[in-house]
Structure 1
Amino acid sequence: MDVTLLPDLPAWQRLGGAHTAEEIAQQPALWSNLAAVIDGARERIDAFLGDALNDPNQRVIFTGAGSSGFIAEMVADQINAQWPADMRALHTTSLLTHPALYLQRDRPTLLVSFGRSGSSPESVAAVELVRAQVDEARFLDITCNADGALAQRGQGRSDTLSLLMPPASCDRAFAMTSSLSCMLLAALSVFERAPWAERTARLRNLAQCGEQAVQAWDAPVAALAQGDISRVIYLGSGPLEATAREAALKVLELTAGRVLALANTPLGFRHGPKSTLNGTTLVVMLRSAQPLARRYEQDLLEELRRDGIAARVISVGPAGADSAEGDFVLDVPALPDTWLAPLWLVMAQCFALQRSAALGLTPDNPFPDGTVNRVVQGVTIHDHG
């Protein structure tokens, strides 16, 4: 098929991918809109959080399912490093099955829920579970849907703060793209220790970088996706490990599982997963902004390129002297990896979209038979009593 670029929405409409293409391309504009949302909500946020994050006995659980759970993984460690409170990421899919491992009745707990629709059965059940099993429980719901169950159930409750993302972030397509990046950046902004003006400035700076990424990477990513690629390996360290998992999920979702996608860390990849390489494998290293991590990443990149087993070995990340021809690089501000992750996800989202179309699938709905759904179905919530 001919390469179709993101701005060509009529062509994507014919291919069944117009919503996905538009929702990837609109992200930088939404990040600018999010800055205004955060600025308008900062008094409510400060009043709700109070001084709780300075209390070592305070627990904060970041949670979600699927891509929303990966948001939790991406943000938790970055935020935990800034505050005395104990913070962790925990997928709702684990919280619901083993609550006794994670909840303590006498320990104050803030549950931070991420939800595009806010109506998945696990999201709603997790809130009800924590409210029932923790005496001092509070809830921060970061969601894209004002009409979803999370937003509706939190209305008028003193124990709940609902933070709504810009309306256009509630993706119409199957895959989470703009919803994910907005919720991720919202969480970082809410829990960042820097002054509010610096937080919103970061969002606007990232929006400018995002515009550059979309424009510069659109055509080369589309060309990359036309190759004979049956496996994709995303590698990332620290918070970028979860980013790699999200990137791999996008490939699995949008290709309906026809392209195998895995994620690992640069150091962990040698411990067995390297055996998955073959002549139709694309390896994508998500590069850290941290010099130490980059040295480990560079070692593996050079090793994989010397081995010559994979079809392509590329990296995505901040521009640097160690970048190679064919890498996707960007000049970015000096920010932690978690803040930069949405930029690298732009590349991964574009690749998944283009690979889906190259396989003749319909990216907006890669599962027309309904085996997998935009809002998960078929979940029975069992009594935790």
Structure 2
Amino acid sequence: MSYTLEEIRRQPSDWATTTELLLNQSEQWRQLFAEKNYENLYFTGCGTSYHIAIVAAYLFQEVTSIPCKAVPASEVLLMPDQMINRKANNLLIGVGRSGTTTESVEAIRKFREEGFGDSLSIACQSQAPASAAASFAIELGHVTDRSVVMTGTFTNLVLATQLLAGIVADNAAYVQQLQLLPEIGLRVLQSSESIAERYGSDLNIRQFIYLGLGGYYGLAAEAVLKLKEMTQTPTEAYNPLEFRHGPISIVDANTLVTLFQSDKAPQVQVDVLKNVRTLGGKTLVISDVDTDEPCFALASNVPDTVRAILYMPYAQLVGYHRAIALGLDPDQPRNLSHVVTLSL
């Protein structure tokens, strides 16, 4: 079995460990946020980790009501005054798999040392350079990706930020729902396998579009990246309604448009897919309940602020099965390495 497939399938088990780790630290983080009373949170990362930042910023703000923003680590590092309000009481939350990516480590260090505010590193490696550079650190040392492509690390890092939000907001009901995800995720993963293989292996589909609203745009962007990394297939991500404003012109009979449907204005999101089909494109809705559209229902019975990571095993498996169908090695994608380091 490839590393990539094993790591995708292992996710629900790792989610249980991540949940236990964060809950054991609850009092520490609750006290910190109460004492600091941060006015703004900035989530940052590179590549997949920037997509985590997008998801986390939207969900964290909804759960805690603290203003949150996602910023690429390179922009925190190179043009901070266009990104950060120096006059506010700020916290930068840097997320990453290894905690060694150059831009992320240096952005975390710069933010703290140049007086923009405190910094928190959340990384899937013990004693990571990002942890040493930050004011505070959370380390998910139990989560590892041997494959170049980030899969389990993505969902575990998102889950860590969700748990942190629930702890900070003192929202016991939200945290309890997050604790259900490992069990729900095992079932969702199993039901994802066949449908992901069906679409991923269909070489008549030559273009993939993923749509997501709000924080789910970060999920769509990550689904796109998995396909690009593993297969170099043309694929793009959009906000559902923004897709109508020009990009829908690329739809043809060989296009599959997949919607990660959230609970916000669900019918408005689905109406975009009806437009796609009038243009000859194929569509798929991934939602929590069955719809009249071609649909994969998660059936999680938890709200969209909780279930975000449940969408990702499907998208990761589409990339994996597409790579296999094309005769590619999903563990060793073209032109990529496990960690990006730069001379800055």
Distance 1:152 1:132 in 2: 12
Question: Of the candidates 120, 124, 129, which is equivalent to residue 144 of structure 1?
Answer: 124
Question: Of the candidates 213, 228, 253, which is equivalent to residue 188 of structure 2?
Answer: 213
Q: Name 1:133's counterpart in structure 2.
A: 114
Q: What SS is found at the alignment partner of 2:25?
A: helix
Q: Name 1:341's counterpart in structure 2.
A: 308
Question: Of the candidates 124, 135, 150, which is equivalent to residue 105 of structure 2?
Answer: 124
Q: Name 1:375's counterpart in structure 2.
A: 339
Distance 1:39 1:376, change over 3 A: same
Q: Name 2:60's counterpart in structure 1.
A: 79
Deviation string for 1:101-139 (max 9, x for gaps)? 12344432211010100000011110121123216x212
Distance 2:67 2:179 in 1: 29
Distance 1:102 1:306 in 2: 41
Distance 2:75 2:169 in 1: 32
Matched letter for residue 211 of structure 2: L
Q: What SS is found at the alignment partner of 2:196?
A: helix
Matched letter for residue 239 of structure 1: G
Q: Name 1:260's counterpart in structure 2.
A: 234
Q: Name 2:44's counterpart in structure 1.
A: 63
Q: Name 2:284's counterpart in structure 1.
A: 314
Could you tell me which runs of 5 or more consecutive residues in structure 2 were left unpaired when the two chains were aligned: none
Distance 1:81 1:200 in 2: 14
Distance 1:323 1:52 in 2: 48
Distance 1:338 1:175, change over 3 A: farther
Q: What SS is found at the alignment partner of 1:63?
A: strand
CA drift at 1:297? 1.6
Q: What SS is found at the alignment partner of 1:163?
A: strand
Matched letter for residue 242 of structure 2: G
Question: Of the candidates 23, 37, 40, which is equivalent to residue 21 of structure 2?
Answer: 37
CA drift at 1:239? 1.3
Q: How many residues align?
A: 342
Q: What SS is found at the alignment partner of 2:189?
A: helix
Distance 1:204 1:50 in 2: 23
Distance 1:150 1:317 in 2: 36
Q: Name 1:248's counterpart in structure 2.
A: 224
CA drift at 1:174? 1.1
Q: What SS is found at the alignment partner of 1:267?
A: helix
Is the Cα–Cα contact under 8 Å of residues 125 and 141 in structure 2 kept in the other structure? no
Distance 2:9 2:63 in 1: 32
Distance 1:147 1:83, change over 3 A: closer
Q: What SS is found at the alignment partner of 2:235?
A: strand
Q: Name 1:179's counterpart in structure 2.
A: 153
CA drift at 1:340? 1.6
Question: Of the candidates 225, 235, 238, which is equivalent to residue 200 of structure 2?
Answer: 225
Q: Name 2:30's counterpart in structure 1.
A: 46
Is the Cα–Cα contact under 8 Å of residues 170 and 178 in structure 1 kept in the other structure? yes
Distance 2:155 2:225 in 1: 15
Matched letter for residue 110 of structure 2: L
Q: Name 1:278's counterpart in structure 2.
A: 252
Distance 1:204 1:132, change over 3 A: closer
Could you tell me which runs of 5 or more consecutive residues in structure 1 were left unpaired when the two chains were aligned: 1-8, 10-17, 155-159
Q: Name 2:298's counterpart in structure 1.
A: 330
CA drift at 1:97? 2.4
Distance 1:143 1:77, change over 3 A: same
RMSD across aligned positions (CA): 1.9
Distance 1:338 1:171, change over 3 A: farther
Q: What SS is found at the alignment partner of 1:162?
A: strand
Distance 2:186 2:122 in 1: 24
Deviation string for 1:40-75 (max 9, x for gaps)? 11122123222434x5xx221111111111111112
**TM-score normalised by structure 1 residue count:** 0.83
Distance 1:47 1:301 in 2: 45
Aligned sequence identity (%) = 27
Distance 2:322 2:65 in 1: 44
Q: What SS is found at the alignment partner of 1:50?
A: helix
Q: Name 1:14's counterpart in structure 2.
A: none
Deviation string for 1:293-317 (max 9, x for gaps)? x111221122222332x2x211112
Question: Which segment is superposed worse, 111-120 or 100-109?
Answer: 100-109
CA drift at 1:380? 2.9
Q: What SS is found at the alignment partner of 1:139?
A: strand
Distance 2:315 2:84 in 1: 35
**TM-score normalised by structure 2 residue count:** 0.93
Q: What SS is found at the alignment partner of 1:68?
A: helix
